[in-house]
């Protein structure tokens, strides 16, 4: 969609007004007609030239539609956007989340104990390690059986009750690090206010050996509080109404001690974090308590060290070798110049089953914005075009995805760049299965990049009328991230990588990646609508015509 140049309001955050943006628009015209086959043929060093390293992750980005000149121009774009200064401002604790007047310091959650960072007069490193130490002491007691439930039995099941950032990170990491878990301790995750969720996760449990973690940054989220109240009711039923059981079976993770106390959880059993940790950036805080209980404090701390290694790379590496910066810039390259709207993230690890879902909140809640930091609309731009923000992230582990949606990636009309993530060493080596698995990983990116021409298809003896159907166009861009093994550290590195990719994109687009006002309206309306659904008398229908009629039908089906 284009808007007229006349409507442009000059914004210092409008990247399209920079020379760097114009240079990339010109670069797009030069690069777009070229095929990856030709780009590889013309540069025997291409794979080496476009491979770089961050901590334990190797990124090969040579199968992207770019030349060395493109990379230079993308790096110039990052400089024009002031990315270096903005990285420094974030790590320093400036209040870069301007709509909530908050620092953004998830990077402080993984600073080593010896580091120092004072923000708003507070030593945040000391605070972080104080909570980590308390989590460790608690986790050690639960894991050793020293912490017992109200009837004296040790804990066998942890139920984490939370939603969004208080669920997606813990559950993703719990699945990712199953191989490091104490298998005698099961974790379950309740998030949805759909009553079937809490029912299915709790109904078959022995509540005498169950610990509930109520995780909520605000401790005001309807889903979490509703599920937690239900769990509390069942717990009290199991203990014949003995309120003293709550202290042994409920702990809280929150920034809001008062609300935790109001709910009835002893604040001695609360693990805190701070308003400078965004929900979707929080599972390396106390929000990761369920994970720590599962994998143990040492593995949790190893994961934090992995996060920190990626933070240091992001903070210090030259942009031309900086993996999060390069990947963020590539996302901008396709999103804003090639006009793509989504990116597939395809982990070749069943353990990373929930990684794409986790990334959806991280990236889309962060960058799904259409107003810049200074309040100007991204529709008002010097280029005259609406500046597309907020890519759609999606994906599934390979090889499952290959038998589902890869057809569209290979031969569909929509260009969909993809990140392939794989590991050399399997967590479980069963005969030749891992090599077979990984041969798929390598085959897919090669097929996407180079395809198969009509001549090649014909030479295989394919009937002429079938040839067009079997031609593989290729020229489909991918990144390949390869690491030796999925360890706690590597998981931390991967998550920090995508956090910083997200930040890089937000800086280019001039938007605030750290608020989420867009989710509020629906929440408020749900509260307003509830009485219309439940009132004993015919309600006063106050919604729009469509919604009123739907609610009336719903009431009829519910016999109201």
Q: Which residues bind ligand F6P (CB under 6 A)?
A: 163-166, 216-218, 221, 224, 279-280, 365, 516, 519
**At its nearest, how many Å lie between ligand F6P and the CB of residue 280?**
5
**At its nearest, how many Å lie between ligand F6P and the CB of residue 368?**
12
- Cα(247)–Cα(333) distance, rounded to whole angstroms? 53
**Which entry of 175, 208, 302, 365 is annotated as an active-site residue?**
365
Cβ-based neighbour number of residue 512 at 10 Å: 23
Exposure string for 205-230, b = 16+ CB within 10 A, e = fewer: bebbebbbbbbbbebebebbbebbeb
Q: Which of 275, 329, 347, 309 has its CA nearest to residue 119?
A: 275
- Our answer to whether residue 208 is catalytic in this structure is no
Of the pair 361, 383, the CB lying nearest ligand F6P is at 361
**At its nearest, how many Å lie between ligand F6P and the CB of residue 370?**
18
- Our answer to whether residue 403 is catalytic in this structure is yes
State the DSSP H helix or E strand holding residue 234, giving kind and residue range, or none if neither.
helix 222-238
**Which entry of 5, 153, 403, 414 is annotated as an active-site residue?**
403
Q: Which of 74, 59, 78 has its CA nearest to residue 419?
A: 59
- Our answer to whether residue 499 is catalytic in this structure is no
Pairing of strands 478-483, 57-60: antiparallel
Give helix 323-332 / helix 488-509 axis angle, nearest 10°: 50
- Cα(528)–Cα(222) distance, rounded to whole angstroms? 13
**Which entry of 26, 484, 523, 530 is annotated as an active-site residue?**
523
Of the pair 197, 365, the CB lying nearest ligand F6P is at 365
- Cα(304)–Cα(388) distance, rounded to whole angstroms? 33
CB 397 within 8 A of CB 322: no
- Cα(520)–Cα(27) distance, rounded to whole angstroms? 40
Of the pair 333, 503, the CB lying nearest ligand F6P is at 503
Q: Which of 541, 168, 155, 103 has its CA nearest to residue 363?
A: 168
DSSP-based three-state secondary structure for 462? coil
Of the pair 281, 334, the CB lying nearest ligand F6P is at 281
Considering only CA atoms, give the Rg of the chain. Answer: 25
**At its nearest, how many Å lie between ligand F6P and the CB of residue 163?**
5
- Cα(59)–Cα(327) distance, rounded to whole angstroms? 9
Of the pair 221, 389, the CB lying nearest ligand F6P is at 221
**At its nearest, how many Å lie between ligand F6P and the CB of residue 253?**
9
- Cα(45)–Cα(29) distance, rounded to whole angstroms? 24
**At its nearest, how many Å lie between ligand F6P and the CB of residue 224?**
5
DSSP-based three-state secondary structure for 419? strand
Of the pair 70, 221, the CB lying nearest ligand F6P is at 221
**At its nearest, how many Å lie between ligand F6P and the CB of residue 260?**
12
Pairing of strands 51-54, 57-60: antiparallel
CB 286 within 8 A of CB 251: no
**At its nearest, how many Å lie between ligand F6P and the CB of residue 279?**
3
State the DSSP H helix or E strand holding residue 478, giving kind and residue range, or none if neither.
strand 478-483
Name the residues annotated as catalytic.
365, 403, 523
């Amino acid at each position: 969609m284009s808007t007229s140049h006349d409507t442009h309001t000059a914004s210092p955050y409008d990247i399209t007004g920079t020379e760097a943006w114009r240079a990339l628009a010109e670069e797009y015209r030069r690069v777009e007609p070229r095929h990856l086959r030709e780009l590889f043929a013309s540069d025997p060093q291409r794979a080496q030239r476009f491979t770089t390293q961050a901590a334990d992750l190797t990124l090969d980005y040579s199968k992207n539609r770019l030349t060395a000149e493109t990379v230079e121009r993308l790096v110039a774009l990052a400089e024009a956007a002031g990315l270096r200064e903005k990285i420094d401002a974030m790590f320093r604790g400036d209040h870069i989340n301007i709509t909530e007047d908050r620092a953004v310091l998830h990077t402080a959650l993984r600073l080593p104990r010896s580091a120092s960072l004072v923000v708003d007069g507070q030593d945040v490193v000391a605070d972080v390690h104080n909570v980590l130490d308390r989590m460790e002491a608690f986790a050690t007691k639960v894991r050793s059986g020293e912490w017992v439930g109200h009837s004296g039995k040790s804990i066998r099941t942890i139920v984490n009750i939370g939603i969004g950032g208080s669920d997606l990170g813990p559950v993703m990491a719990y699945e990712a690090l199953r191989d490091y878990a104490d298998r005698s301790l099961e974790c379950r995750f309740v998030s949805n206010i759909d009553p079937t969720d809490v029912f299915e996760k709790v109904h078959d449990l022995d509540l005498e050996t169950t610990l509930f973690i109520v995780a909520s940054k605000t401790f005001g989220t309807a889903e979490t509080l509703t599920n937690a109240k239900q769990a509390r009711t069942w717990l009290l039923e199991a203990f014949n109404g003995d309120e003293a059981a709550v202290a042994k079976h409920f702990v809280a993770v929150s920034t809001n001690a008062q609300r935790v106390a109001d709910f009835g959880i002893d604040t001695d059993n609360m693990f805190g974090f701070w308003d400078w940790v965004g929900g979707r950036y929080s599972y390396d805080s106390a929000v990761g308590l369920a994970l720590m209980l599962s994998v143990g404090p040492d593995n949790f701390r190893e994961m934090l060290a992995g996060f920190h290694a990626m933070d240091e790379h992001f903070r210090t590496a030259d942009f031309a070798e900086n993996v999060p910066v390069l990947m963020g810039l590539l996302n901008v390259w396709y999103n804003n110049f090639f006009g793509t709207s989504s990116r597939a993230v395809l982990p070749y690890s069943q353990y990373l089953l929930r990684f794409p879902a986790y990334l959806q909140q991280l990236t889309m809640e962060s960058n799904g914005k259409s107003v810049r930091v200074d309040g100007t609309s991204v529709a008002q731009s010097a280029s005259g075009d609406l500046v597309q923000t907020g890519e759609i992230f999606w994906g599934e582990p390979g090889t499952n995805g290959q038998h589902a949606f890869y057809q569209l990636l290979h031969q569909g009309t929509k260009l969909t760049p993809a990140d392939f993530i794989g590991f050399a060493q399997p967590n479980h080596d069963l005969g030749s299965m891992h090599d077979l698995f990984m041969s798929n990983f390598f085959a897919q990116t090669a097929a996407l990049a180079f395809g198969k021409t009509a001549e090649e298809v014909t030479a295989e003896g394919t009937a002429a009328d079938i040839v067009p159907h079997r031609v593989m166009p290729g020229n489909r861009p991918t990144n390949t991230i390869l690491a030796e093994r999925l360890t706690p550290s590597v998981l931390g590195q991967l998550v920090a990588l995508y956090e910083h990719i997200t930040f890089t994109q937000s800086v280019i687009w001039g938007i605030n990646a750290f608020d989420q006002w867009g989710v509020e309206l629906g929440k408020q309306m749900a509260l307003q609508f509830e009485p219309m659904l439940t009132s004993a008398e015919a309600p006063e229908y106050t919604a729009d015509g469509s919604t009123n009629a739907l609610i009336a039908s719903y009431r009829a089906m519910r016999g109201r």
